[in-house]
Amino acid sequence: MPNALPTFFVSHGGGPWPFMKDQYGSTYDKLEASLIDMRRQVGVRPKAVLVVSSHWEQAGLMVSSSAAPGMIYDYGGFPPHTYHVSYPAPGSPELARQVADLLGQAGHAVSPDPLRGFDHGTFSMLYPVYPQADMPVVQLSIKLGYDPQTHMDIGRALAPLRSEGVLIIGSGLSYHNLRQFGPGGQKASHGFDAWLQHVLRKLPPAERGAAMLHWSEAPYARLAHPREDHLMPLMVALGAAENEPASCVYHEDDFFGSLAVSSFRFGAAA
């Protein structure tokens, strides 16, 4: 797709981590560096950012349509100051309408949500990328039922936005089993990550898409994702660049001491 921006799937980390440097120390240094490097990979200032957040699940698709979104502190047990952080990026009612139109033309009904604010899957991930918070940002929900084909089709319908300067980011986690978020998750996270790396980076596009539709048959799949909410944004990012090569833009083998986690870019860097 000529002059199209790449798409990204980002493993966004936990809660409000960019605002907890004193507590986390170097835990998130590699993730933060990869997010900062996204600006170089994109190469230009996007017209806007469309984030598909794993932390917004709806029975039907919804798109944030406020010109000035607020904040959603969708986490618990963090220091008091993290419930007052702000990421005051503007919204874009115009982009929200365009998203709804594109998806509607593809048979996916979308409802605008003028009240939806930025959840941590959006603001924590975007803060290192665009810390000035001056980039228009729109959020798109994932759809309950977690059907991979549906989410890949959603990405396919949104692909034209890439040629119009809209940066599409799927925000989730490549491993998301909170009950085994530590040494107990080492084997599953590494096994699933190895499968994900092979499928996304090595297989031809048609085979890659087919394999992702059957992700639950992968090694350790249900141990890595008991609920696949954090995997669905990957399907959207992939669908929006389905015939383009994938690159791993972030990887750790020892996240929180033992977990394998990754982020991917679809399409060429600038």
Question: Does the residue 77 lie in any domain?
Answer: yes
Local confidence band at 138 (pLDDT 50, 70, 90 cut-offs): very high
Please tell me the chain's helix, strand, coil percentages from 3-state DSSP, rounded to the nearest 5: 45, 20, 35
Lateral strand order in the sheet of 259-266: 110-113, 61-64, 137-143, 48-58, 166-172, 7-11, 259-266, 246-255
Token representation of residue 38:
């996204």
8 A C-beta contact, residue 247 and residue 269: yes
Condensed to tens digits (0 to 9), the pLDDT of residues 169-195 reads: 999 999 999 889 989 999 999 999 999
Average pLDDT over residues 151-156: 98
- Asked if residue 265 has pLDDT above 90, the reply is yes
Question: Does the residue 240 lie in any domain?
Answer: yes
8 A C-beta contact, residue 193 and residue 260: yes
Condensed to tens digits (0 to 9), the pLDDT of residues 228-262 reads: 999 999 999 999 999 999 999 999 999 999 999 99
H helix runs in the chain, sequence order = 21-24, 29-42, 93-105, 120-129, 148-158, 186-202, 205-213, 221-224, 232-239
Write down the pLDDT at residue 1: 63
Q: Containing domain of residue 250, as a range? A: 7-266
Question: Does the residue 2 lie in any domain?
Answer: no
Token representation of residue 79:
């220091």
8 A C-beta contact, residue 242 and residue 205: yes
Radius of gyration of the chain (CA): 17
Write down the pLDDT at residue 2: 65
Condensed to tens digits (0 to 9), the pLDDT of residues 202-222 reads: 999 999 999 999 999 999 999
d(CA 225, CA 218): 11
Question: Does the residue 258 lie in any domain?
Answer: yes
Question: Does the residue 149 lie in any domain?
Answer: yes
Write down the pLDDT at residue 99: 98
Average pLDDT over residues 129-153: 97
Question: Does the residue 12 lie in any domain?
Answer: yes
How many structural domains comprise the chain? 1
Question: Does the residue 251 lie in any domain?
Answer: yes
- Give the chain's end-to-end CA distance (angstroms, integer): 14
Question: Does the residue 207 lie in any domain?
Answer: yes
Closest CA to 50 of 161, 172, 163: 161
Condensed to tens digits (0 to 9), the pLDDT of residues 61-102 reads: 999 999 999 999 999 999 999 999 999 999 999 999 999 999
Neighbours of 41 (CB within 10 A): 17
Q: Kindly state the percentage of the chain with pLDDT values over 70.
A: 99
Local confidence band at 3 (pLDDT 50, 70, 90 cut-offs): confident
Write down the pLDDT at residue 179: 87
How high is the mean pLDDT of the chain?
96
Q: Is residue 133 classed as helix, strand or coil in its secondary structure? A: coil
* Backbone φ and ψ of 74, nearest 5°: -90, 60
CATH number at residue 36: 3.40.830.10
